[in-house]
Amino acid sequence: MRRRRQEQRHASHDRWLVSYADFITLLFAFFVVLYASSQVDKRKVGRLALSIQMAFQELGVFETSNVAVPLGDSDKVPFSKAQMVKGMDAAPELGYFVQPMSGMLGPGTSRAALNQIQKNLEKALAPEIRSHVAEVKSRRDGLVISLREVGFYESGSATLRPSALDALDRLASILKTRPELLRIEGHTDNIPIHNSLFASNWELSTARASNLIKELIDRYHFEPERLSAAGYGEFHPVAPNDTAEGRARNRRVDIVVLNSPDLGAF
């Protein structure tokens, strides 16, 4: 009986090449997709920017323009004629403010007007500014006039010093005729208060803000609807509380000339 020769089967060691080739193909396709998605159609972006700008112009936010929005892909995008608004510093004549952090946009006092108010206040309060008992500075939500305790209040008291009324007269003469809302903010350092009038820094800061509002209404006849009070205690410092100088800067009352009517209740 003739034996059948069993054919020897040899295992293929090259099958990994198929999986490797599939992997390389998928990897290549992945990077192609990433590259394609990263390429922005600048012409379409330009048309979108111009369309948004013209929509704001229709609402009265930006000045009007006669720039036409290109409709076709072959139309030229007139960037050289577009009225690009990069910020309030670049276009102070616009009567609007922008809050980058919150994205709010609304009618209010222009940056140019606030700058003029700041110059007038710095001139009126020049003696106090030189003595480092007052400071005028610009902030995101408006113009801030800081009245430090050392020049305006006795320690632990919410009543203005009689010697501070002259400075308040000069300050009020500038702000009384303005239309902006005013927020009066009371601030303290982080040293706990111990007296019979106030149980905490919260109460002291709030009382100082409220008493100053009462002074503005009774003495200078400010319109009450323009005014609001806030007591922040020790929690909004402008300097570290680990030095006597820093604590002195933190004990203050801030008069904030708001650049938007929407912020008056905050």
**Which helix (DSSP H) or strand (DSSP E) does residue 27 occupy?**
helix 16-38
Instruction: Report the alpha-carbon distance of residue 264 to residue 110 in Å, rounded.
Output: 16
Mean pLDDT score of the chain, rounded to an integer?
A: 79
Q: Is residue 118 part of a domain?
A: yes
- At residue 192, what is the residue type? P
> Which residue, 84, 103, 120, sits at the end of a domain?
84
Instruction: Report the alpha-carbon distance of residue 125 to residue 133 in Å, rounded.
Output: 10
pLDDT at 34: 80
Of 71-80, 145-154, 240-249, give the lowest mean pLDDT range: 71-80
Of 2-11, 21-30, 49-58, give the lowest mean pLDDT range: 2-11
- Residues with Cβ within 8 Å of 95's Cβ and at least 6 positions away in sequence, in order, are 107, 108, 109, 110
Do 73 and 17 reside in the same domain of the chain?
yes
pLDDT at 266: 44
- Residues with Cβ within 8 Å of 232's Cβ and at least 6 positions away in sequence, in order, are 185, 186, 187, 205
**Which is more confidently placed, 175 or 108?**
175
Q: Is residue 89 part of a domain?
A: no
Which residue segment(s) compose the domain that 23 sits in? 13-84
Question: How many domains are there within the chain?
Answer: 2
Do 139 and 250 reside in the same domain of the chain?
yes
Q: Is residue 92 part of a domain?
A: no
Question: What DSSP line would sit under 109-124, residue for residue?
Answer: --HHHHHHHHHHHHHH
Residue 21 corresponds to which tokens in the numbers above? 């080739």
Instruction: Report the alpha-carbon distance of residue 18 to residue 112 in Å, rounded.
Output: 70
Instruction: Give the pLDDT band of residue 89 (cuts 50, 70, 90).
Output: very low
For residues 202 and 233, the answer to whether their CB atoms sit within 8 Å is yes
Q: Is residue 243 part of a domain?
A: yes
For residues 189 and 237, the answer to whether their CB atoms sit within 8 Å is yes
Instruction: Give the pLDDT band of residue 42 (cuts 50, 70, 90).
Output: low
- At residue 17, what is the residue type? L
Instruction: Report the alpha-carbon distance of residue 34 to residue 22 in Å, rounded.
Output: 19
Within 10 angstroms of residue 2's Cβ, the number of other Cβ atoms is 4
For residues 181 and 261, the answer to whether their CB atoms sit within 8 Å is yes
Q: Is residue 68 part of a domain?
A: yes
Pairing of strands 142-148, 134-139: antiparallel
Do 153 and 249 reside in the same domain of the chain?
yes
- At residue 23, what is the residue type? F
**Which is more confidently placed, 163 or 87?**
163
Residue 96 pLDDT greater than 90, yes or no: no
Instruction: Give the pLDDT band of residue 100 (cuts 50, 70, 90).
Output: very low
Q: Is residue 101 part of a domain?
A: no
Residue 9 pLDDT greater than 90, yes or no: no
User: Domain with 258 in it: what CATH number?
Assistant: 3.30.1330.60
Strands (DSSP E) along the chain, which ranges? 96-99, 104-107, 134-139, 142-148, 182-187, 227-231, 252-258
pLDDT at 29: 87
Instruction: Give the pLDDT band of residue 97 (cuts 50, 70, 90).
Output: very low
Do 250 and 155 reside in the same domain of the chain?
yes
Do 161 and 253 reside in the same domain of the chain?
yes
Q: Is residue 76 part of a domain?
A: yes
Q: Is residue 2 part of a domain?
A: no
